[in-house]
Structure 1
């Protein structure tokens, strides 16, 4: 009888422990950076406090939140690494300021998340890259020994992430970089830097898949969104772009590596006073690759310099050693694109002589241009194979 009672108590104890562990795993625990010594005076370096809060949050077996309350916090370069023991959120309610001293901002990244599964970054706060102090150093086009300026926020090898309700301003370099990631969503985010700020791309991605960008406004000095080699399964919906250089694929093919990119859809977007609209650019150089499965639809252009452009002779800083591009572009659809062009040539398809663009579809295009002499918009096609459907303004050259 005693043995049975003892065995019963052991079973009840094991069951109770199991329930406790399960409940702990389902709880959310906050790790407030102020409890780790963070001071919201806009001057104190809070890097150690942020990193310590992250470390303990990452080790929590339940749901964890690193909490940055309202206030102005200076933070130097920080790296938040996993893997973590449970889902983790980085909640920014405050105003984060990057350093302005050259010795502190010459790094690859300001805020870096790496090797994490189930990450959320949100909170309605502000990321201030304080780029004005650094843009003069961003002269890589002329100076081969130029320093590397930091991305505001970078995600490396992150899976199942959601970035939302943030504001990023005045980045020193690119605002957000996504590299080697799977299933990352960026929504309800505002990105801004002056139109003349160098290399301040809004969102740049490479070697990633399952990327969604929605309900986001990007006003910057370079590409609003740039998709580089290894990018696939991207959905860009309801994005406002401008000023900036538009939504770009590439540049690709500068070196000898494979430069594949496919399954991209851009829909319900608007472009305001951008230098380019929807653009694909490849270098006239030895790099090989394939760009395929692209759909651009329901897009409005307002005073866009080059609304629709494929440039396979890309050479932003001549002189360049040129040869026909070896990147094959195929299966690209442009559907329901309207508005007005800032230049007479509203559609440019400058494709490779050795690998002509194939299976391009132009459907319901209406891009006006109002020249001084009443001239309308035109289109230019080189080495293109495809078809045109529905009304075409300018007259299709396919």
Structure 2
């Protein structure tokens, strides 16, 4: 063996040996799906957080009941912690156990935390039934939330049946989600797949999302987002907004959404803002290489957003939308008007580009509707006359 080979051999083994494994079962976690293992998971986190070496928290096969867990990284001695999950984390089936606590599993102030594999099951069915019957129900909890965190990686993770949002990124930077699955029925209310707000440098890649609300929702204060290789359906599509509820609100800029397939969704690519006097903006957005399959509203800008016609002052939206490009979008619309650009009367949309957009309705070409929108279109005569 050459001296160089010997060096790499010992370097590899030294690196492997320095990775300390913390098995949650050694801290009392039970894989029977009945015993609350919250404390065991938190204890394993505490040990990994206190370690000065590279640490891995390991969750073996089985089902682990977690009532609620909060992982704080503010005092961790070493930033890099991996969590490798071969099992399923299960929320309580009774939604009253968590109530209105906000989140089921929370990470806050963590850096370089990576989660590989595993299933997070929010068991939200009983709350959905309550909400769909219009009873007085709790708002529900987000399944997996990250706050004020950097360099997060999620790979091969499944999050399913959340009471509300499945994955929340709030105040996160340089975060990568890849190979993620989000699974919930189409009639599950307010169960957004992935919601991102006040974050920068987030990428969501090669993921399958089916849920009862937006597959991916992009809130205020986001920049430099990259979304690629997404299969969306059922759900409400990929949405920027709703924006403009607050009078002073941060904008959204530099967003790329490409190589996405929407199947039977309520919307495809959407920008929505409340019709309220507010600040904020949406600019430098690219929707590219997208396939629509029987989508109700394939391309939509809605600046008069007002669900159920409640709490809406019907003012002109103060959110300025500019430099939005739709390129190589084709497929089928479930409604005759496949492109609907309903922009603000006080802040008209500008710099809208539609290039090679080819959408059909039944056996003919779909229609387009534009209000207060300016830009250019090519490859679709109905769009050319619309803008």
Q: TM-score scaled to structure 2, two decimals?
A: 0.92
Distance across 2 between alignment mates of 1:251 and 1:81: 29
**In the alignment, structure 1 residue 389 sits paired with structure 2 residue 356:** no
Displacement of 1:255 in angstroms is 2.2
Q: Secondary structure at the match of 1:103?
A: coil
Find 2:140's aligned residue among 139, 142, 149. Answer: 149
Q: How does 1:44-59 map to 2 (within 5 A)?
A: 44-59=35-50
Distance across 1 between alignment mates of 2:378 and 2:139: 46
Find 2:275's aligned residue among 272, 281, 284. Answer: 284
Displacement of 1:169 in angstroms is 1.3
Displacement of 1:204 in angstroms is 0.1
Displacement of 1:393 in angstroms is 6.1
Identify the residue that residue 135 of structure 1 maps to in structure 2.
128
Identify the residue that residue 363 of structure 1 maps to in structure 2.
355
Displacement of 1:200 in angstroms is 0.7
C-alpha change, 1:358 and 1:266, in structure 2 (3 Å) is same
Aligned length: 370
Deviations 1:136-165 (A, max 9, x none): 34479x67x752311110000110011010
Identify the residue that residue 111 of structure 1 maps to in structure 2.
105
Q: How does 1:1-398 map to 2 (within 5 A)?
A: 27-83=18-74, 84-86=76-78, 87-106=80-99, 107-123=101-117, 125-138=118-131, 146-319=137-310, 320-370=312-362, 376-392=365-381, 396-398=385-387
Distance across 2 between alignment mates of 1:265 and 1:381: 23
Displacement of 1:92 in angstroms is 1.3
Q: Secondary structure at the match of 1:57?
A: helix
C-alpha change, 1:159 and 1:396, in structure 2 (3 Å) is farther
- Rg larger for: 1
Displacement of 1:26 in angstroms is 8.0
Contact 1:220 1:243 in 2 (8 A): yes
Displacement of 1:259 in angstroms is 3.5
Contact 2:354 2:378 in 1 (8 A): yes
Contact 1:25 1:63 in 2 (8 A): no
Deviations 1:156-182 (A, max 9, x none): 011001101011111111100000000
Displacement of 1:392 in angstroms is 4.8
Deviations 1:251-277 (A, max 9, x none): 001121224000000011110000000
Deviations 1:43-102 (A, max 9, x none): 000000000000010111111111110011111110011132220011111011101223
Distance across 2 between alignment mates of 1:201 and 1:380: 28
Contact 1:252 1:287 in 2 (8 A): no
Q: Gapped runs of 5+ residues in structure 1?
A: 1-22
Contact 1:253 1:259 in 2 (8 A): no
Segment of structure 1 superposing worse, 131-140 or 88-97: 131-140
Q: TM-score scaled to structure 1, two decimals?
A: 0.90
Distance across 2 between alignment mates of 1:393 and 1:112: 48
Distance across 2 between alignment mates of 1:31 and 1:189: 24
Identify the residue that residue 8 of structure 2 maps to in structure 1.
none
Identify the residue that residue 7 of structure 2 maps to in structure 1.
none
Distance across 2 between alignment mates of 1:122 and 1:193: 21
CA RMSD of aligned residues (A): 1.8
C-alpha change, 1:64 and 1:179, in structure 2 (3 Å) is same
Displacement of 1:189 in angstroms is 1.0
C-alpha change, 1:276 and 1:240, in structure 2 (3 Å) is same
Identify the residue that residue 3 of structure 2 maps to in structure 1.
none
Deviations 1:317-348 (A, max 9, x none): 21432111110000000000000101000000
Deviations 1:180-209 (A, max 9, x none): 000111100111100000011000010000
Distance across 1 between alignment mates of 2:132 and 2:220: 24
Contact 2:343 2:373 in 1 (8 A): yes
